[in-house]
A = this chain, B = another copy of it.
C-alpha cells in the first residue's frame, strides 16, 4: 500500500498513518495476515522519524488492527476488517457532521451547504 503524508495540515503524522492503515484494511487493500512495512523501512521511505511510525503502529495494535508476530513483524489481524470498516464509517460521518454543524451555526442554509457539497465533490 502507498502512504501519503501531509505535514502541513495540522493532523499529526502518526494519526495520518493510523487512519490510512485503518482505511486500507476497511477497503481490503490490506488483508488479514498481510505484513505492514517495518518501522525502519517506512521511516526511510517516508523520511519520517521512526518514533512517529512506532507510535502509529502501537496505536494500531491497541486498536486491534495489527498484531505482532514475534520476530517477524506486524500483520493485519484476522478480525480487523469489519472493525476498520465501522471505524472508517464512524470517523468520516463524525467529521462530516462536525463540519456541517459548524457551517449551520455560521449561518449557512441547508441549501447553501448542499450547493457547496456538490461544488467541492466535483472538484475532487
Contact = CB atoms under 8 A, between A and B. Distances in A.
Interface of A: 7-9, 12-13, 19, 23, 26-27, 29, 49, 59, 62, 67, 69-71, 88, 92-93, 95-108, 110, 113-114, 116-117, 119-121, 123-124
A103 B107 contact: no
A19 B62 CA distance: 16
B105 A23 contact: yes
A107 B120 CA distance: 17
B100 A121 contact: yes
Given A96-B120, A116-B96, A88 B106 contact: yes
Contacts of A105: 23
B97 A26 contact: no
A117 to B, nearest CB: 6
